[in-house]
Amino acid sequence: MRITMVGTGYVGLVSGACFADFGHQVTCVDKNAEKIAALKRGEIPIFEPDLDRLVEVNTRAGRLSFTTDLADPVSHSDAVFIAVGTPSRRGDGHADLSYVYAAAREIAASLRDFTVVITKSTVPVGTGDEVERIIREANRDADVVVASNPEFLREGAAIRDFKHPDRIVVGTDDEQARKTITEIYRPLYLNQAPLMFTGRRTAELIKYAANAFLATKITFINEIADLAEKVGADVQEVARGIGLDNRIGTKFLHAGPGFGGSCFPKDTRALIKTAQDYEAPIRIVEAVLAVNENRKRAMARKVASILGGSLRGKTVALLGLTFKPNTDDMRESPSIPLVTALQDLGATIRAYDPEGIEQARSELTDVTYCDGPYSCAEGADALVIVTEWEQFRALDLEGLKQKMAYPAIVDLRNIYRPSDVVAHGFKYESVGRPTPSAS
């Protein structure tokens, strides 16, 4: 199949590379000439495990190409995917659909034979209707069907998620479009990936509902963690105890500093705004977003507590800045409000992240960036584990203690056993777990 992918951001680049790896002929289009030139040189603008190899292999094989010219590839394509950004709109929290609509207008001018235009960007309910209206108004002769195919990729595991999906949701009632999209995803049949066809508006809502539900699970277990700390319970055992119930499941029940990233915050905001517009407010999701925002800054109080309540003149070392491991994405990361809150309380910040430092520089000021966890801990009064990178799971605790001015660790991801850390002479705080006294 001949595919055009409009947008070379996270979703567009991963999807385009994976489709090419299936054997399709894929052209990725972006207006950013510098980004396209870099991609042609094999330089990947984001960190995603194995993506560089996938792009290199398929570019060399001639199945994947990059261009700033949208007209030519669209005119020869069986399917055109819209995978541009839909950030939160300034001022009101609605999804900014200007990039989607601009792409639709450009696509319309270049359509020739029958083409399926597929929205892969995360968009509110009804966006597909507007995309279709724009295309038909701009090109009344176009033989086109507009469909929805939301993505369900986890940063850090996106290629595996794309090739081994839980489900592939497609919103269209058109039989010819169904056949085209079925052929596009045919290589996944051996993985028995369920292809779910539904109405276009239903597909759009499925994406938002999925992200809102997962965000709700995270916020729920975080609030249970707060209660567990007060009553002397262990939130990890609580999570396991409820997660073994297959009606609940074990995933997204890991207590921590709150959710961040490119999806959950903006998608919950957009869903809330859509629900308000339709006079069907979703109070649960409203509460989830509010609790999560408050939680991020509240983590600073946990750090202050381990140092006697005051951070004035203290040095705090942060391990991990990205919102999750195996990505360089700093968007809405819990580290951002945490750092600003710590600074507001008078702390000096040192920080290290395996992949996110360059992105962090544009988000966080007055931070000393270090080249490793041990240099980061040098002279620190407290060490805070913010992101659960694998590199942080087996640190030399004795070595850390010797580097630090005061032996205090705040583990916001619960990656260490409290008894192990305390046995090395540290004061230790985690999330929702009791800390044993030093013997």
Q: Give me the active site residues, please.
A: 263
Helix (H, G, I), strand (E, B) or coil at 112: coil
Residue of 409, 369, 379, 367 lying closest to 392 (CA atoms): 409
Burial of 7 (0-12, 13-18, 19+ CB in 10 A): buried
Reading the block at residue 40, the tokens are: 């042609």
Residue of 68, 75, 73, 82 lying closest to 15 (CA atoms): 82
Gyration radius of the chain's alpha carbons: 24
Q: Where are the alpha helices (DSSP H) in 321-356?
A: 335-344
Which three-class secondary structure string do you get for 376-429? HHCCCCEEEECCCCHHHCCCCHHHHHHHCCCCEEEECCCCCCHHHHHHCCCEEE
Are 424 and 300 contacting, i.e. CB atoms less than 8 angstroms apart?
no
Reading the block at residue 271, the tokens are: 């869903």
Instruction: Dump strand ranges (E) for 192-284.
Output: 195-198
From the DSSP assignment, how many helices (H) and strands (E) are in the chain?
17, 14
